[in-house]
């Protein structure tokens, strides 16, 4: 009996000690500076009205998140097309998009006309990014950008300097738009609002379409829709022009013509046809295009991609992303008309 009580007391003391130790460690982690924070804060101080100490204080409140590192090491874009496509091309996302389009039709038409962007693409981007605003991200953007700036995972492609610039833009954006930097939520990569704008894009391309003096990409549908349209417009969207057509591939096709990362259009449709990739849809021979290859369940499919496809890849570099936006946009258009 005595022994059991004593053991119980000892166990309790051990646990208390362990808990205290964890608390001390986590407190010291919080107060600890992130590696490279000093240098970063000095840089922000040079480019803004903020002083270095203010930036350091802000960063001291930022938390490293292992879940963000984990998400970065397994992006959806690593999947083959036939596994990526079903994430986005679903009845639920198509019907949700048609409903969203009907609800905001006047606004969408206004933005489409003003910025010269096809309306179905605006809706499809918002659909792929956030399911029409249902999933705008639950990470604190400050934590996301701090984690990816100072603790970028070893994936063989170090993007920490990109995220460091985004962290700086986030701080400047906070100044400009009066955003509460410690509260703003977004994706694990720090993308914000219904159109998932990174801070630099927010600063550069977001528009105040409702004219209330703020660019609000969360609760002003005018600003959200206008900003997505402006983003596409500023990257060169061509109204009413094709995005992509399926290609017929000859046996002797030159596979070096297939684009891998960059879908800039550099060759004419005629030149690509001579190289073995012919359009299955009639299109002017002097139109500029590139070739995309997608992994289907039963082999590869090939596509002639035009300037508008390239513009969609300015939103997200992956050809899978651009194809998902395109397919969804076509389904939405058919759904609205049908």
CB of 64 closer than 8 Å to CB of 188: no
Q: Which is nearer to Ca ion, 210 or 271 (CB)?
A: 210
Least distance from Ca ion to the Cβ atom of residue 265, Å: 34
Least Cα distance to 223 among 315, 122, 146 occurs for: 122
Is residue 208 close enough to count as binding Ca ion by CB under 5 A? Answer: yes
CB of 232 closer than 8 Å to CB of 261: no
Query: Quick one: which segment of 48-56, 78-86, 200-208, 271-279 binds Ca ion (CB under 5 A)?
Result: 200-208
Least distance from Ca ion to the Cβ atom of residue 322, Å: 28
Neighbouring residues of 215: CB distance < 8 A, sequence distance ≥ 6: 177, 202, 206, 207, 208, 223, 227
Q: Are strands 288-296 and 267-268 parallel, antiparallel or unpaired?
A: antiparallel
Which residues does the annotation mark as catalytic?
Answer: 129
Residue closest to Ca ion (Cβ): 208
Q: Cα 230 to chain center, whole Å? A: 16
Is residue 262 close enough to count as binding Ca ion by CB under 5 A? Answer: no
Least distance from Ca ion to the Cβ atom of residue 176, Å: 13
- CA separation for the pair 99, 91 (Å, rounded): 12
- CA separation for the pair 3, 334 (Å, rounded): 77
Q: Which is nearer to Ca ion, 93 or 215 (CB)?
A: 215
Size of the site for Ca ion (CB under 5 A): 6
Mask for 209-248, x = binds Ca ion (CB under 5 A): -x-x-x-----x--x-------------------------
Query: Quick one: which segment of 28-36, 122-130, 206-214, 326-334 binds Ca ion (CB under 5 A)?
Result: 206-214
**Residues in contact with Ca ion by the rule CB under 5 A:** 208, 210, 212, 214, 220, 223
């Amino acid at each position: 009996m005595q022994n059991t009580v004593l053991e119980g007391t000892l166990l309790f003391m051990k646990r208390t000690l362990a808990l205290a130790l964890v608390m001390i460690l986590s407190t010291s982690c919080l107060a600890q500076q992130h590696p490279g924070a000093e240098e970063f804060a000095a840089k922000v101080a040079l480019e803004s009205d903020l002083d270095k100490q203010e930036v350091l204080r802000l960063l001291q409140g930022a938390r490293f998140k292992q879940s963000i590192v984990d998400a970065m090491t397994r992006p959806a874009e690593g999947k083959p097309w036939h596994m990526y496509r079903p994430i986005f091309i679903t009845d639920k996302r198509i019907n949700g998009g048609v409903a969203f389009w009907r609800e905001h039709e006047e606004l969408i038409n206004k933005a489409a006309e003003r910025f010269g962007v096809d309306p179905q693409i605006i809706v499809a981007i918002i659909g792929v990014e956030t399911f029409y605003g249902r999933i705008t991200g639950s990470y604190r953007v400050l934590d996301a950008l701090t984690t990816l700036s100072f603790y970028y995972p070893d994936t063989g492609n170090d993007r920490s300097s990109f995220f460091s610039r985004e962290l700086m833009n986030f701080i400047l954006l906070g100044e400009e738009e009066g955003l509460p930097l410690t509260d703003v939520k977004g994706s694990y990569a720090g993308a914000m609002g219904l159109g998932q704008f990174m801070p630099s894009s927010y600063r550069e391309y977001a528009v105040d379409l409702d004219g209330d003096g703020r660019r609000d990409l969360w609760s002003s549908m005018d600003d959200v829709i206008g900003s997505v349209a402006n983003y596409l417009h500023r990257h060169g969207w061509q109204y009413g022009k094709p995005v992509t057509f399926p290609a017929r591939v000859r046996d002797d096709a030159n596979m070096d013509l297939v684009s891998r990362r960059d879908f800039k259009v550099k060759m004419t449709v005629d030149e690509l046809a001579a190289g073995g990739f012919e359009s299955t849809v009639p299109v002017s021979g002097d139109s500029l295009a590139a070739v995309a290859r997608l992994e289907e369940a039963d082999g590869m499919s090939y596509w002639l991609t035009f300037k508008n496809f390239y513009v969609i890849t300015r939103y997200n570099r992956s050809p899978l992303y651009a194809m998902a936006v395109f397919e969804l946009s076509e389904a939405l258009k058919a759904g609205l008309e049908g």
